[in-house]
Structure 1
């Protein structure tokens, strides 16, 4: 199972999102560090809208997602961009 698939499954189970996009941006970072070839699953972006975030601060939302995905971070996920929202909140995507 790919990193993207694992992240998506965990987020769906934990937050039951209305909208969820997990985007692998690893290829955009090739060459940023010596020897890094843009290997799949190292740089991910999460765009999520879920009722579970209603009433939570932006920081609390980020912490909840980061804590959930800590195993992926421990296994080599290098960068995680998080764009969380509650239903009805404006998003840039």
Structure 2
């Protein structure tokens, strides 16, 4: 199941994670409005995100290893377009 946030960058984030992780659940939340006028706000309305993703690829991995997989999928976007990314990553069956 995929729940996509609206906006071109949010959609791109979701597409990248869907392709690289084949998630069973995916939600991308655009948190940029909460950071309007703060450092990192470039005026696009797409700079701060929360990603909640459940994927079999995370099974047996530590929290840090899971976050690294997400960061790898979004590496170029993190360098150029995403100022802040909160990651909630779990494997199927995790509490």
Specify if TM > 0.5: yes
Moved over 6 A (4+): none
- Residue 68 (1) aligns with residue 77 (2): no
Structure 2's unaligned 5+ residue stretches are 1-6
Aligned CA-pair RMSD:
1.8
- Residue 85 (1) aligns with residue 90 (2): yes
Structure 1's unaligned 5+ residue stretches are none
- Residue 43 (1) aligns with residue 33 (2): no
Shift of 1:3: 0.8
Q: Using structure 2 for the length normalisation, give the TM-score.
A: 0.84
Q: Secondary structure at the match of 2:10?
A: helix
Q: Greater CA radius of gyration, 1 or 2? A: 1
Shift of 1:41: 1.6
Q: Distance between the aligned counterparts of 1:23 and 1:77, measured in 2? A: 13
Q: Using structure 1 for the length normalisation, give the TM-score.
A: 0.86
Q: Distance between the aligned counterparts of 1:37 and 1:77, measured in 2? A: 10
